[in-house]
Amino acid sequence: MNCPSCQAPLVPGAKFCANCGAPAPQATQVGAYTEPLPETDNPKDPIVVGDMTIKIEGELVPVADVELGRQQTIYFEHHILLWKQPNVTLGFMNLKNAGKRFFSGLQIFISTAQGPGNIAFSREAPGQIVALRLRPGQAVDVREHQFLLATSNVAYDFYWQQGLANVLLARTGLFIDRFTAQQEGVVLLHGYGNVFEKTLGPGEVLDVEPGAWLWKDANVRMDTVSVLQSQGAGGLLGALGAFVGGAALVLNRFYGPGRIGMQSMTYHEPQREGAQQAGGTSNIGGVLGSLFGDRQ
Protein backbone atom coordinates (compact mmCIF):
# COMPACT_ATOMS: atom_id res chain seq x y z
CA MET A 1 0.00 0.00 0.00
CA ASN A 2 1.23 3.48 -0.88
CA CYS A 3 0.58 6.59 1.18
CA PRO A 4 -2.65 8.22 -0.11
CA SER A 5 -0.99 11.61 0.23
CA CYS A 6 2.58 11.36 -1.08
CA GLN A 7 2.45 7.86 -2.67
CA ALA A 8 5.53 6.68 -0.78
CA PRO A 9 5.42 2.93 0.04
CA LEU A 10 3.99 2.25 3.49
CA VAL A 11 5.60 -0.21 5.88
CA PRO A 12 3.08 -3.01 6.63
CA GLY A 13 1.30 -2.25 9.90
CA ALA A 14 2.49 1.38 10.03
CA LYS A 15 0.01 3.92 11.41
CA PHE A 16 1.69 6.92 9.79
CA CYS A 17 3.64 7.52 6.59
CA ALA A 18 7.38 7.73 7.34
CA ASN A 19 7.81 10.15 4.44
CA CYS A 20 5.10 12.80 5.01
CA GLY A 21 3.51 11.81 8.34
CA ALA A 22 -0.01 11.35 6.96
CA PRO A 23 -2.19 8.71 8.69
CA ALA A 24 -1.89 5.29 7.05
CA PRO A 25 -5.09 3.41 6.10
CA GLN A 26 -5.88 0.68 8.62
CA ALA A 27 -7.36 -2.66 7.62
CA THR A 28 -10.29 -4.20 9.48
CA GLN A 29 -9.26 -7.52 11.00
CA VAL A 30 -11.68 -10.40 11.53
CA GLY A 31 -9.84 -13.22 13.29
CA ALA A 32 -6.66 -13.80 11.32
CA TYR A 33 -8.14 -12.25 8.15
CA THR A 34 -7.59 -8.59 7.22
CA GLU A 35 -10.07 -7.07 4.82
CA PRO A 36 -8.90 -5.32 1.62
CA LEU A 37 -8.17 -1.61 2.01
CA PRO A 38 -9.84 0.85 -0.37
CA GLU A 39 -7.76 3.32 -2.34
CA THR A 40 -9.79 6.19 -0.91
CA ASP A 41 -8.99 8.62 -3.72
CA ASN A 42 -6.71 9.37 -6.62
CA PRO A 43 -3.28 10.64 -5.48
CA LYS A 44 -3.67 14.28 -4.41
CA ASP A 45 -0.07 15.40 -4.13
CA PRO A 46 2.24 15.64 -7.17
CA ILE A 47 4.39 12.56 -7.81
CA VAL A 48 7.99 13.58 -8.45
CA VAL A 49 10.51 11.26 -10.12
CA GLY A 50 13.78 12.93 -11.10
CA ASP A 51 12.95 16.04 -13.12
CA MET A 52 9.42 14.80 -13.92
CA THR A 53 6.20 15.70 -12.06
CA ILE A 54 2.92 13.77 -12.39
CA LYS A 55 -0.41 15.21 -11.28
CA ILE A 56 -3.60 13.13 -11.17
CA GLU A 57 -6.51 15.41 -12.03
CA GLY A 58 -10.27 14.95 -12.37
CA GLU A 59 -12.56 12.62 -10.48
CA LEU A 60 -14.93 10.50 -12.59
CA VAL A 61 -12.52 9.89 -15.48
CA PRO A 62 -9.09 10.84 -14.05
CA VAL A 63 -6.24 12.22 -16.12
CA ALA A 64 -2.50 11.71 -15.61
CA ASP A 65 -0.96 15.12 -16.36
CA VAL A 66 2.83 14.84 -16.77
CA GLU A 67 5.38 17.64 -16.80
CA LEU A 68 8.50 16.17 -18.38
CA GLY A 69 11.99 17.54 -17.86
CA ARG A 70 14.95 16.90 -20.12
CA GLN A 71 16.19 13.73 -18.41
CA GLN A 72 13.33 11.48 -17.30
CA THR A 73 11.33 9.81 -20.10
CA ILE A 74 8.17 7.71 -19.97
CA TYR A 75 6.46 5.00 -22.01
CA PHE A 76 2.73 4.37 -22.36
CA GLU A 77 0.07 2.34 -24.17
CA HIS A 78 -1.35 3.73 -27.38
CA HIS A 79 -4.88 5.19 -27.62
CA ILE A 80 -4.63 6.94 -24.24
CA LEU A 81 -2.93 10.20 -25.23
CA LEU A 82 -5.10 13.26 -24.55
CA TRP A 83 -2.82 16.23 -25.31
CA LYS A 84 0.81 17.27 -25.49
CA GLN A 85 2.93 20.31 -26.19
CA PRO A 86 4.56 20.24 -29.65
CA ASN A 87 8.08 20.10 -28.21
CA VAL A 88 7.37 16.75 -26.48
CA THR A 89 8.89 14.09 -28.73
CA LEU A 90 7.03 10.81 -29.25
CA GLY A 91 8.64 7.53 -30.29
CA PHE A 92 8.27 3.76 -30.03
CA MET A 93 9.76 1.08 -27.82
CA ASN A 94 10.11 -2.29 -29.52
CA LEU A 95 8.89 -5.35 -27.62
CA LYS A 96 10.26 -8.87 -27.51
CA ASN A 97 8.06 -11.64 -28.98
CA ALA A 98 6.02 -9.07 -30.86
CA GLY A 99 4.51 -11.77 -33.09
CA LYS A 100 2.82 -13.46 -30.13
CA ARG A 101 1.30 -10.17 -29.02
CA PHE A 102 0.08 -9.36 -32.53
CA PHE A 103 -1.84 -12.63 -32.85
CA SER A 104 -3.26 -12.11 -29.36
CA GLY A 105 -4.80 -8.79 -30.35
CA LEU A 106 -2.28 -6.68 -28.39
CA GLN A 107 -0.15 -3.78 -29.57
CA ILE A 108 3.36 -4.64 -30.73
CA PHE A 109 4.74 -1.19 -29.95
CA ILE A 110 4.75 0.85 -26.78
CA SER A 111 4.86 4.63 -27.24
CA THR A 112 7.51 6.79 -25.56
CA ALA A 113 7.58 10.49 -24.67
CA GLN A 114 10.57 12.74 -24.04
CA GLY A 115 10.47 16.34 -22.81
CA PRO A 116 10.72 19.00 -21.87
CA GLY A 117 7.02 19.77 -21.94
CA ASN A 118 3.53 18.78 -20.87
CA ILE A 119 1.66 15.61 -21.88
CA ALA A 120 -1.51 14.00 -20.51
CA PHE A 121 -3.19 10.60 -20.63
CA SER A 122 -6.53 9.00 -19.76
CA ARG A 123 -8.05 5.54 -20.11
CA GLU A 124 -11.37 7.27 -20.97
CA ALA A 125 -13.34 5.18 -18.48
CA PRO A 126 -14.65 5.78 -14.95
CA GLY A 127 -12.28 4.65 -12.25
CA GLN A 128 -9.18 5.43 -10.23
CA ILE A 129 -5.53 5.87 -11.06
CA VAL A 130 -3.13 3.88 -8.90
CA ALA A 131 0.50 4.98 -8.60
CA LEU A 132 2.91 2.18 -7.70
CA ARG A 133 6.36 3.35 -6.62
CA LEU A 134 8.81 0.51 -7.23
CA ARG A 135 12.14 0.06 -5.49
CA PRO A 136 15.15 -1.33 -7.41
CA GLY A 137 14.51 -5.00 -8.17
CA GLN A 138 10.83 -4.86 -7.20
CA ALA A 139 8.38 -6.28 -9.78
CA VAL A 140 4.61 -6.19 -10.23
CA ASP A 141 2.28 -8.01 -12.63
CA VAL A 142 -0.59 -6.12 -14.27
CA ARG A 143 -3.50 -7.39 -16.34
CA GLU A 144 -3.70 -6.47 -20.03
CA HIS A 145 -4.67 -2.94 -21.14
CA GLN A 146 -4.71 -1.38 -17.67
CA PHE A 147 -1.33 0.25 -17.34
CA LEU A 148 -1.21 3.93 -18.25
CA LEU A 149 2.46 4.84 -18.15
CA ALA A 150 5.77 4.01 -16.52
CA THR A 151 9.07 5.79 -16.11
CA SER A 152 11.89 4.62 -18.36
CA ASN A 153 13.89 3.21 -15.43
CA VAL A 154 11.20 0.53 -15.04
CA ALA A 155 11.69 -2.42 -17.40
CA TYR A 156 8.64 -3.72 -19.27
CA ASP A 157 8.06 -7.38 -20.14
CA PHE A 158 5.16 -9.81 -20.36
CA TYR A 159 4.54 -13.52 -19.98
CA TRP A 160 2.08 -16.04 -21.33
CA GLN A 161 -0.81 -16.90 -19.07
CA GLN A 162 -0.38 -20.54 -18.09
CA GLY A 163 -3.15 -23.13 -18.41
CA LEU A 164 -5.96 -23.65 -20.90
CA ALA A 165 -8.57 -22.77 -18.28
CA ASN A 166 -6.93 -19.38 -17.76
CA VAL A 167 -6.91 -18.65 -21.49
CA LEU A 168 -10.42 -19.87 -22.32
CA LEU A 169 -12.38 -19.35 -19.11
CA ALA A 170 -10.57 -17.10 -16.66
CA ARG A 171 -11.00 -13.92 -18.75
CA THR A 172 -7.68 -12.51 -17.67
CA GLY A 173 -6.25 -12.38 -21.21
CA LEU A 174 -3.48 -14.31 -22.90
CA PHE A 175 -0.65 -12.24 -21.43
CA ILE A 176 0.18 -10.55 -18.15
CA ASP A 177 2.39 -7.46 -18.14
CA ARG A 178 5.38 -7.40 -15.80
CA PHE A 179 7.16 -4.24 -14.65
CA THR A 180 10.54 -4.47 -12.88
CA ALA A 181 12.33 -1.45 -11.42
CA GLN A 182 15.96 -1.16 -12.46
CA GLN A 183 16.14 2.02 -10.40
CA GLU A 184 13.43 3.63 -8.30
CA GLY A 185 10.51 4.38 -10.60
CA VAL A 186 6.75 4.58 -10.87
CA VAL A 187 4.01 2.72 -12.75
CA LEU A 188 0.55 4.23 -13.18
CA LEU A 189 -2.47 1.94 -13.59
CA HIS A 190 -6.12 2.62 -14.34
CA GLY A 191 -8.58 0.64 -12.24
CA TYR A 192 -12.21 0.43 -13.31
CA GLY A 193 -14.52 1.67 -10.56
CA ASN A 194 -12.82 1.73 -7.17
CA VAL A 195 -9.55 0.01 -6.33
CA PHE A 196 -8.81 -2.08 -3.23
CA GLU A 197 -5.52 -3.51 -2.01
CA LYS A 198 -5.14 -6.74 -0.05
CA THR A 199 -1.94 -7.94 1.61
CA LEU A 200 -1.79 -11.72 1.77
CA GLY A 201 0.14 -13.31 4.58
CA PRO A 202 2.40 -16.37 4.07
CA GLY A 203 0.19 -19.27 3.04
CA GLU A 204 -2.93 -17.08 2.82
CA VAL A 205 -5.17 -17.70 -0.19
CA LEU A 206 -7.86 -15.53 -1.81
CA ASP A 207 -10.20 -16.36 -4.71
CA VAL A 208 -11.05 -13.39 -6.93
CA GLU A 209 -13.52 -13.00 -9.79
CA PRO A 210 -11.36 -13.16 -12.95
CA GLY A 211 -12.25 -9.69 -14.17
CA ALA A 212 -11.75 -8.07 -10.77
CA TRP A 213 -8.01 -8.30 -10.14
CA LEU A 214 -5.85 -5.41 -11.36
CA TRP A 215 -2.27 -6.05 -10.25
CA LYS A 216 -0.20 -8.23 -7.95
CA ASP A 217 3.31 -8.47 -6.59
CA ALA A 218 5.34 -10.72 -8.89
CA ASN A 219 5.96 -13.22 -6.07
CA VAL A 220 2.20 -13.77 -5.55
CA ARG A 221 1.30 -16.95 -7.40
CA MET A 222 -1.94 -17.02 -9.37
CA ASP A 223 -3.86 -20.15 -10.31
CA THR A 224 -7.31 -20.93 -11.67
CA VAL A 225 -9.92 -22.95 -9.79
CA SER A 226 -13.50 -23.85 -10.60
CA VAL A 227 -16.38 -22.45 -8.57
CA LEU A 228 -16.89 -25.98 -7.24
CA GLN A 229 -13.29 -26.10 -5.99
CA SER A 230 -13.78 -22.73 -4.30
CA GLN A 231 -16.84 -23.80 -2.33
CA GLY A 232 -15.12 -25.65 0.51
CA ALA A 233 -17.84 -27.75 2.10
CA GLY A 234 -20.53 -26.16 -0.08
CA GLY A 235 -20.31 -28.91 -2.68
CA LEU A 236 -22.32 -28.90 -5.90
CA LEU A 237 -25.25 -26.99 -4.41
CA GLY A 238 -22.88 -24.31 -3.17
CA ALA A 239 -21.29 -24.03 -6.63
CA LEU A 240 -24.76 -23.80 -8.21
CA GLY A 241 -25.69 -21.08 -5.75
CA ALA A 242 -22.53 -19.14 -6.59
CA PHE A 243 -23.19 -19.50 -10.30
CA VAL A 244 -26.80 -18.32 -9.99
CA GLY A 245 -25.54 -15.44 -7.85
CA GLY A 246 -23.41 -14.20 -10.74
CA ALA A 247 -20.01 -15.80 -10.06
CA ALA A 248 -17.81 -16.87 -12.95
CA LEU A 249 -17.34 -20.55 -13.82
CA VAL A 250 -13.76 -20.23 -12.67
CA LEU A 251 -11.99 -17.95 -10.20
CA ASN A 252 -8.40 -16.76 -9.99
CA ARG A 253 -6.73 -18.01 -6.81
CA PHE A 254 -3.89 -15.95 -5.33
CA TYR A 255 -1.32 -17.34 -2.90
CA GLY A 256 0.56 -15.15 -0.40
CA PRO A 257 2.75 -13.65 0.74
CA GLY A 258 2.37 -10.39 -1.14
CA ARG A 259 -0.09 -7.78 -2.32
CA ILE A 260 -2.89 -7.86 -4.87
CA GLY A 261 -4.95 -4.96 -6.21
CA MET A 262 -8.63 -5.43 -7.07
CA GLN A 263 -11.16 -3.28 -8.92
CA SER A 264 -14.89 -2.98 -8.30
CA MET A 265 -15.81 -3.00 -12.02
CA THR A 266 -14.73 -6.17 -13.78
CA TYR A 267 -12.56 -5.43 -16.77
CA HIS A 268 -14.16 -5.29 -20.21
CA GLU A 269 -12.60 -4.47 -23.56
CA PRO A 270 -14.25 -1.78 -25.72
CA GLN A 271 -17.01 -3.17 -27.92
CA ARG A 272 -18.53 -1.84 -31.12
CA GLU A 273 -21.54 0.40 -30.61
CA GLY A 274 -24.68 -1.56 -29.76
CA ALA A 275 -22.81 -4.70 -28.68
CA GLN A 276 -23.56 -6.30 -25.32
CA GLN A 277 -21.15 -5.16 -22.58
CA ALA A 278 -20.01 -8.11 -20.46
CA GLY A 279 -17.55 -7.70 -17.63
CA GLY A 280 -14.30 -9.59 -17.95
CA THR A 281 -15.00 -11.00 -21.41
CA SER A 282 -12.59 -13.58 -22.81
CA ASN A 283 -9.62 -12.36 -24.82
CA ILE A 284 -10.21 -15.15 -27.36
CA GLY A 285 -13.21 -13.36 -28.85
CA GLY A 286 -11.13 -10.23 -29.24
CA VAL A 287 -8.38 -12.17 -31.02
CA LEU A 288 -10.79 -13.77 -33.50
CA GLY A 289 -12.60 -10.48 -33.96
CA SER A 290 -9.37 -8.66 -34.74
CA LEU A 291 -8.50 -11.23 -37.40
CA PHE A 292 -11.92 -11.04 -39.08
CA GLY A 293 -12.58 -7.33 -38.75
CA ASP A 294 -15.11 -7.48 -35.92
CA ARG A 295 -13.50 -4.85 -33.69
CA GLN A 296 -13.35 -1.07 -33.69
Ordered by where they begin, the domains of the chain are 32-291 (3.60.160.10)
Prediction pTM value: 0.75
What is the distance between the alpha carbons of residues 216 and 193, in angstroms, rounded to a whole number? 18
- Look at residues 97, 101, 63, 69 and name the one whose alpha carbon lies nearest to residue 83: 63
pLDDT of the residue at 224? 84
115/165: higher pLDDT: 115
| Alpha-carbon distance values, 290 to 62, 261, 283 (Å) | 28, 29, 11
Residue 281 has pLDDT above 60, yes or no: no
Residue 288 has pLDDT above 60, yes or no: no
pLDDT in tens, 197-244: 999 999 999 999 888 999 999 999 998 887 766 665 455 665 566 555
Q: How confident is the model at residue 272 (pLDDT cuts 50, 70, 90)?
A: very low
Give the residue-averaged pLDDT of 105-119. Answer: 84
Give 188's pLDDT tier (boundaries 50, 70, 90): very high
> What's the pLDDT tens digit per position in 71-102?
999 999 878 999 999 999 999 887 666 665 56
Range in 5-14, 181-190, 255-264 with the lowest mean pLDDT = 5-14
pLDDT of residue 157: 87
Mean pLDDT of 3-12: 67
Check whether 47 has a pLDDT greater than 70: yes
Q: Check residue 137 and give its pLDDT.
A: 94
| CA–CA separation, 81 and 122 (whole Å) | 7
Report pLDDT for 284.
42
**What's the full length of the chain, in residues?**
296
